[in-house]
Each structure stands twice: as structure tokens, then as C-alpha cells.
A and B are shown apart, each in its own frame.
Chain A
Amino acid sequence: MTTSMLWRAGRRLLLIAGLPAVLITAWWLATANSTNFYWPPLRTIVEVFGPTWLEGKLTSDVLPSLARLGVGYLAALALGIGIGVAIGSSTTLRATVEPVLEFFRAIPPPVLVPILILFAGIGDGMKVLVIVSGAIWPILLNTVEGVRSIDEVLRDTAACYRFRTRTRLTTLILRGASPQIMTGARQALSIAIILMVISEMFAASNGLGFTIIQFQRSFALPQMWSGIILLGLIGVALSLLFRLVETRVLAWYFGQRDTQQSGA
């Protein structure tokens, strides 16, 4: 019993950590004796990682970046869900707005950066706006779709039992659309991380993107590589956090899906 459980846990760990271990080892061995200026040994990159990021730059660059990411992402969530619910609930509004939405969605957010600098300057506001302008679309469009696809019988049930507007919104609309909203939010998260970096590569005086560009321009390549690794790690951490939230919020959805699949 215990051995089989241990064996299963070990197998799981192997599945999760196996490929990263192989990749890291390959990188380590391939660059071990590298004298190429642009491809420093992984050992050097790891050595500079701590001094580069954990002393000083953590508060001056990493945290400001994460703060802008957080504010931008949450604003995109609030706006996307709010507008999405409004559009999804009204056929007229949907017919009016949908073509325009398609147009805005098709514009790559990075091209908005120069324009946004004109309006919002080069401060935090601009960077948050860039993140919102890109991350809002998957959330908004998925919310519209989610609200539209809420079951007709469930709507009738809410109407028959005379649900108040507030309950209708929280218990019927938002919960009903939550699987699609979460899908949109997941896509939006990776877009938001990309835009956080890009917005800092334009006019900026701190932040992860800014620092990585600075390292590149001053030919501090191990440091530059360590910054890229840090970005990757942040991405992994945020996606794990997202999954944690998702399993809580959508527990009913996964449960229902599993039941239907095993019953079919």
C-alpha cells in the first residue's frame, strides 16, 4: 500500500520534473565550456542570478513590474467582465458593438504604445493602459460568449422564482459564464505578462523589461539571460497561482464534466 503510493508519487514527480531536468542538463552541458560571448555558460548565468535580482533590483525593478502587471490585469478583468456581461445580456447591444470589437481586437496592442505615450505620458499609467488594452479582449469576448450560452431553462428557473437583479447577476450570469470567463482570463494572463515587458522596453526608467534591455545594451549578457529566466519563472508561478484559483472557482464545472464523461 505505502510502497505503491510512494511509487505513484515518484512517478508523478518524474512526469512533472523530468523534461525540465533534461532541458536544464542539456543547456548546462552544451554551454559548460562555452567561450561564445553571446552564449555564456549556464553556470555563469546562475551565479549572477542572485546578486543581480535578489539584491536591490527586487524592490527597484521586479516589484514595480509585478505591481503594474497586477493592476493592469485586475483592471482588464473588471472591465472585460463588466462590459462583457452588458454586451452578452443584450442582443441589440451585441449587434451594434460586435463589428467594432472585432476591429479593436485585431489591433496588436504594442502598436498602441506610442499613441498611449502621447496621452498618458511615460509613467506607470501608460504601462497599465498598455496591459489593459491587450489583456481585456480575451476576457471580454469570452464573457460575452459565456453569458450568451447560459442555459435557457436555468434562466427560466431564475425568472420563475423571481430572483432579484443582484442574485440574477451573481448566481445565474457570473457563475454560469464562469467557465468561459476563466478561459479568457487564462489567455489574458500570458498576454498581460508579455505586454508588461514590452511596455517597459519603450520609455521607462525601471522594471524588468527596462533592466533586460539595459543589460543587453551594456553587453552584460549573463545578467540579460538571468532576466529572461526570471521572466519565465514568474510566468510559471503565476500560472500555478491561476490554476489554484481555477480549481476552487470551477470545482463544480470539473466535477460535472468528469461525471458526464465517465457516465457516457
Chain B
Amino acid sequence: MTQSPRKTPKDSDIMSIVSTLTRSTPEPAMSTDDTGQHTPMLDVRGLRKVYASGKRSVEAVRDLTFGVDPGELVCLVGPSGCGKTTLLRCISGLLETTSGEVVLEGKRVSGPPEGMAVVFQEYGRSLFPWLTVWQNVELPLKEKGISRAERKRLTTESLAAVGLADFHTAHPWQLSGGMQQRVAIARAVAYEPHVLLMDEPFAAVDAQTRGELEDLVRALWERLGVTVLFVTHDIDEAVYLGQRVVILSSSPTVVLEDVTIDLPAERDQLTTRSLPRFTELRAHVYERVQQAKQGNRPSTPTATS
């Protein structure tokens, strides 16, 4: 790695920039239907995915039902190889479901929907190496048909929000791993999605960077009011970030438990992680994931909270 442009901004810098980022998406209001029940932003109903090749077929996801309310930050956690990626590809419309459906803002997902952005685990492979950092962030906005002036504003603000204001003309491969993932996050934020899907986004960055990026996601989420579905295999991360943690079984996947994380909304790496309640929740989720690894599954896959 060349030592050229590498300067990691401090957390405090990022937070102050985040707070200047103007919110231009109208806050997704808690929509209420005629029956008086609020409808979720993202609704996964009876999702099932079977990979069939020739005579062999593998059931990756058996029966998943859960919802994410507007403005919520929900973490999905499960043992490794539990079909998280399959699930995410189904939700983002990249993969057809075998049965069941994914409903986003009242519309059934049949291809990559509008108003959704995805941050992939493989940051190095999801950024276009032939484009600069600026172009990477701006391109989706162009495709969305946003005017030049507005594109400029969104790109500048979102790059500033992730602490990369000085790296507009750099290419992704000139940056460290954590910074590349920041570019991907900036790209997603600039897109102004209603739902942000994150597929183990910090699995490949070092532990210190991971902490910074977790706080960045929390800060952006609080500021922008965007709905976030965060997939991870890291139990600490799930409990630290989420308002709810949905625990998945091993493959074929069902929902094991839907845990509400009743930690204070104001979270930081030091105090939140040392709260007794954090330890309790962490232990609980850990236990369930361990059970899931041993093939333990509920007789009827229901979500309890």
C-alpha cells in the first residue's frame, strides 16, 4: 500500500460534520392504514428460497417473516452460513424468491427497488476502480436523474459526512479498507434511500476502524431518519447498533427470536458496551446464536418480541 492519501479523521470531526448535513429526505412518517395498524417500511412475509440445480435442490431460507418500521435500525444476526446473504439478495431484489414476498413501502419487490441502497461487505469490489471517489458517489445520482447542482451538493455533503472531504479526486484503491467502506457509505447516503441495507459491511475492516464506522452509521441514521437493516455475524455489533436484533437460525433459515434492544438511544463505544444491560442482552443473543449453531430451531417459526 502506498502511504499517499491516508489520514483518518477523528470521530469528533465526523460527528460535527454529520450534524451539518441537511436532511433533505422527508422523514418517513409512521404511515397508518385504515385498520389503525401501522404498516412497516419493509415487510418480509413467508420468504422461502430454494436453490435448484438439476435434481439437487438446497433450501437456503425456509420461512422468514419480519418487518422493519419506518426509521428503525434493525440488525439481523445468525450463525455463519445461515443464509444471511441469500436473504439480503432477496430483499434487495437481486434474487427471486421461491415463495413468499418482500414488500417495500407497500410495493412488492420484484427487482432492485427505487429508494433502496445497499452497502456490501466487499467494499473493494463494490466501488468502481476506474472512477474517482467523487464519481463513484455521483454516478448513482446521475442515474436517478438528479440535477447537476443537486448532485454536487449531495456528493459534497455525504463525502464530508463520512470524513472524506479531502479525497474527491482519489481512486478507491488509493485508500485504506476502512476509507473505501466510507466511500460506499457516502454513496448510499447521497442516494437518499428510504431503506439502507448493509450486508456485513464491517466484517473485513480492523477492529478500531470498525468501532468508528459503527458510530458513523448510528450518527447518520439518527441524522437522516433512514430505515436501516444491518446484517452481521458479530453479536456485539448487532446489540450495540440495533433497536431490535432479529436472530436467525442456521440454514434453512427461520427467525429464532426478535429481541428488542432497550439500551439508551445515546450510545458510545465505551459507556454503552460497559452497561450491565448490554452484557445481559449480549449474553442472551450469544446463547441463542450458539443454540442455532447446534441446529436448535423453534417448532413453529414465530417472531416474539
Question: Given A164-B143, A256-B171, are A157 and B120 neighbors across the interface (CB < 8 Å)?
Answer: yes
Of A153, A161, A252, which is within 8 A of B122 by CB? Answer: A153
Q: Please report the C-alpha to C-alpha distance between residue A198 and residue B130 in the assembled complex, in whole angstroms.
A: 39
Decide: A252 and B129 in contact? CB cutoff 8 A. Answer: yes
Decide: A153 and B125 in contact? CB cutoff 8 A. Answer: yes
Residues 155-173 of A, flagged 1 when their CB comes within 8 A of B and 0 if not, give: 0110111111001000110
Interface size on B, residues (CB 8 A): 29
Residues 118-162 of B, flagged 1 when their CB comes within 8 A of A and 0 if not, give: 101010011111110000000110111000000000000000000
Looking across the interface, which residue of chain B has its beta carbon closest to that of A168? B143
Looking across the interface, which residue of chain A has its beta carbon closest to that of B89? A156
Decide: A255 and B174 in contact? CB cutoff 8 A. Answer: yes
Decide: A162 and B118 in contact? CB cutoff 8 A. Answer: no
25 residue pairs bridging A and B, Cβ less than 8 Å apart: A151-B125, A152-B125, A153-B122, A153-B126, A154-B125, A156-B94, A156-B126, A157-B126, A157-B128, A159-B111, A160-B116, A160-B117, A161-B112, A162-B112, A163-B143, A171-B128, A171-B131, A171-B139, A172-B128, A175-B130, A252-B129, A252-B130, A255-B171, A255-B173, A263-B2
Decide: B1 and A262 in contact? CB cutoff 8 A. Answer: yes
Interface flag for A218 (CB, 8 Å)? no
B66 → A minimal CB distance (Å): 21
Interface flag for A259 (CB, 8 Å)? yes
A149 → B minimal CB distance (Å): 12
Residues 244-261 of A, flagged 1 when their CB comes within 8 A of B and 0 if not, give: 000000001101100110
Residues in B with CB closer than 8 Å to A152 are 125
Looking across the interface, which residue of chain A has its beta carbon closest to that of B172? A256
Question: Given A161-B191, A164-B143, A256-B173, are A156 and B129 neighbors across the interface (CB < 8 Å)?
Answer: no
Residues in B with CB closer than 8 Å to A172 are 128
Decide: A252 and B171 in contact? CB cutoff 8 A. Answer: yes
Give the dominant DSSP class at A's interface. Answer: helix
Decide: B2 and A262 in contact? CB cutoff 8 A. Answer: yes
Residues in B with CB closer than 8 Å to A263 are 1-2
Residues in B with CB closer than 8 Å to A151 are 125
Decide: A160 and B112 in contact? CB cutoff 8 A. Answer: yes
Looking across the interface, which residue of chain A has its beta carbon closest to that of B123? A153
Residues in A with CB closer than 8 Å to B89 are 156
Looking across the interface, which residue of chain A has its beta carbon closest to that of B145? A164
Residues in A with CB closer than 8 Å to B144 are 161-162
B199 → A minimal CB distance (Å): 10
Q: Please report the C-alpha to C-alpha distance between residue A56 and residue B58 in the assembled complex, in whole angstroms.
A: 74
Chain A contacts with B in 119-167, Cβ cutoff 8 A: 151-154, 156-157, 159-164, 167
Q: Please report the C-alpha to C-alpha distance between residue A178 and residue B122 in the assembled complex, in whole angstroms.
A: 22
- A160-B118, A259-B1 known; 4 other A-B pairs, CB under 8 Å? A153-B120, A156-B89, A256-B129, A259-B173
Q: Please report the C-alpha to C-alpha distance between residue A37 and residue B256 in the assembled complex, in whole angstroms.
A: 93
Decide: B92 and A160 in contact? CB cutoff 8 A. Answer: yes
Q: Please report the C-alpha to C-alpha distance between residue A151 and residue B127 in the assembled complex, in whole angstroms.
A: 10
Interface flag for B114 (CB, 8 Å)? yes
